[in-house]
């Protein structure tokens, strides 16, 4: 996973309007971004997933349509309104598209949920850093297994160990709890290996507790495919604790309970090609150009001064209105004249980069571009040009909607199976 994850941090920073190009982060004094690439990604999902999915469930038997009618009612009136772990179902579907655009694909886990608020099928967006697909497999359908990790506290494990009836191995669980509470910390930093650039930016990279009831540790669950598939949970940093849970797939359908929302699928990688991977260089170029331009404007307004210290009283040189500079020679202080050509070419260069990013996303954005300032004869504001771009944007949206529908079909089929199996 390391080669795949190498470029994720820069893309994650762009999602939350943080500069990731080297000029803006290390060289320029300005740190501005127009967040164009993330704006386009969010806008697309608002169009593609404008409402909850509307589909029909049919019985395999033509004589048993009443059960299908009941299942449709239950799905639309009970499951979708209550499948709100993390957030409501529609927000999760929209975010699955945004994160698929960011990472190339977004894994979604579905399972049966039992708590005080709801009993029934639910689904969760898996942070991509917590998802481990089987090496050598390029889709979930072809995989024999996949693993998902989560970070839990010792107190969470203590609550499981206190249950009278549980599928967890209590002896191994208590051994794990003891090791974690007494300060037996992992050999790696969980925060640096699991936290995204978004989490680090929002929490300032603060580490979590490493001992006592608040200590955190990683649990991994391996989901196997097939009629004899197992769900196996273990703590990778405490292997001597052994397997914590080993159960037969409770879904009883032989499937791995994970579906992938793709952006652009690839035949040789389970992680597809995302819009951020395609457009990150353009967004970095825009941010670099913008911040270099702003620094240039500051330089033009407050130019550096060339001062002959032998002919001035240096302490009197103050850059403020009404200042009195004491000097023997009126030419002892002269401003440094920079070449204004770079500032004058900003607008044209910015428009070119803007157009390239809009082209990549299949949209004309605010219709400000035309064939003269963009260098693209296809741009224009005539009714024919606008209609042409509507068709182009619609085709790109339809591609994303197709990927969403494939994901929803797999997800809903799994959740319907759970409902039939458990309720």
Interval 221-248 mean pLDDT:
94
In the predicted model, is pLDDT for residue 276 greater than 90?
A: yes
Dist CA 97 CA 86 (whole Å) = 16
Report the helix count and the strand count for the chain, using DSSP H and E: 16, 12
* pLDDT for res 331: 85
Dist CA 387 CA 28 (whole Å) = 41
279 contacts 37 by C-beta, under 8 angstroms = yes
* pLDDT for res 198: 86
- Read off the pLDDT of residues 383-419 as tens digits, 9 standing for 90 and up: 666 666 677 888 889 999 999 999 999 999 999 889 8
Strand partners, 217: 152
- How far is the CA of 294 from the CAs of 15, 210, 291, in angstroms? 22, 44, 5
- Three-state SS at 407: helix
**Strand 305-307 vs strand 131-133: parallel, antiparallel, or unpaired?**
unpaired
Confidence tier at 94 by pLDDT (50, 70, 90)? very high
Interval 302-319 mean pLDDT:
86
139 contacts 272 by C-beta, under 8 angstroms = no
* pLDDT for res 226: 92
- Confidence (pTM): 0.85
- Read off the pLDDT of residues 45-88 as tens digits, 9 standing for 90 and up: 999 998 887 778 888 777 778 888 888 889 889 999 999 999 99
12 contacts 197 by C-beta, under 8 angstroms = yes
- Read off the pLDDT of residues 173-211 as tens digits, 9 standing for 90 and up: 999 998 888 766 666 667 677 788 888 888 766 666 566
* pLDDT for res 249: 93
């Amino acid at each position: 996973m390391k080669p795949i994850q190498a470029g994720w941090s820069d893309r994650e920073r762009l999602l939350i309007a943080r500069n990731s190009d080297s000029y803006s982060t290390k060289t320029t004094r300005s740190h501005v971004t127009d967040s164009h690439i993330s704006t386009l990604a969010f806008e697309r999902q608002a169009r593609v997933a404008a409402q909850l999915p509307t589909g029909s469930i049919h019985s395999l038997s033509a004589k048993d349509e009443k059960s299908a009618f009941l299942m449709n009612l239950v799905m639309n009136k009970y499951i979708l309104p209550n499948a709100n772990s993390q957030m409501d179902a529609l927000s999760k579907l929209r975010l699955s598209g945004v994160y698929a655009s960011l990472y190339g694909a977004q894994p979604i886990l579905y399972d049966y949920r039992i708590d005080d608020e709801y009993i029934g099928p639910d689904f969760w967006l898996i942070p991509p850093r917590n998802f481990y697909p089987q090496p050598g497999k390029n889709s979930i359908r072809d995989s024999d297994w996949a693993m998902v990790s989560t970070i839990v506290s010792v107190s969470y494990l203590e609550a499981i160990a206190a249950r009278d009836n549980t599928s967890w191995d209590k002896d191994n669980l208590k051994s794990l709890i003891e090791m974690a509470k007494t300060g037996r910390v992992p050999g790696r930093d969980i925060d640096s290996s699991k936290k995204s650039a978004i989490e680090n930016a929002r929490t300032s990279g603060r580490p979590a507790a490493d001992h006592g009831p608040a200590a955190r540790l990683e649990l991994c669950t391996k989901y196997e495919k097939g009629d004899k598939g197992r769900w196996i949970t273990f703590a990778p940093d405490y292997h001597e604790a052994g397997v914590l849970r080993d159960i037969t797939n409770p879904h009883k359908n032989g499937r791995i309970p994970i579906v992938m929302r793709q952006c652009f699928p690839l035949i040789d990688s389970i992680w597809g090609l995302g819009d951020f991977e395609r457009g990150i260089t353009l967004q970095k170029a825009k941010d670099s150009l913008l911040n270099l331009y702003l620094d240039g404007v500051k330089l033009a307004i407050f130019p550096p001064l060339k001062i002959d210290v032998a002919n001035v009283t240096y302490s009197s040189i103050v850059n403020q209105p009404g200042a009195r500079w004491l000097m023997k020679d009126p030419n002892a202080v002269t401003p440094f004249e920079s070449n204004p050509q770079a500032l004058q070419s900003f607008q044209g260069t910015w428009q070119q980069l803007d157009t390239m990013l809009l082209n990549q996303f299949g949209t004309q954005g605010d219709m400000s571009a035309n064939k003269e300032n963009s260098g693209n004869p296809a741009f224009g504001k005539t009714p024919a040009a606008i209609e042409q771009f509507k068709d182009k944007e619609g085709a790109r949206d339809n591609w994303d909607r197709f990927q969403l529908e494939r994901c929803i079909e797999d997800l809903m089929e799994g959740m319907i199976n759970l409902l039939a199996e458990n309720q």
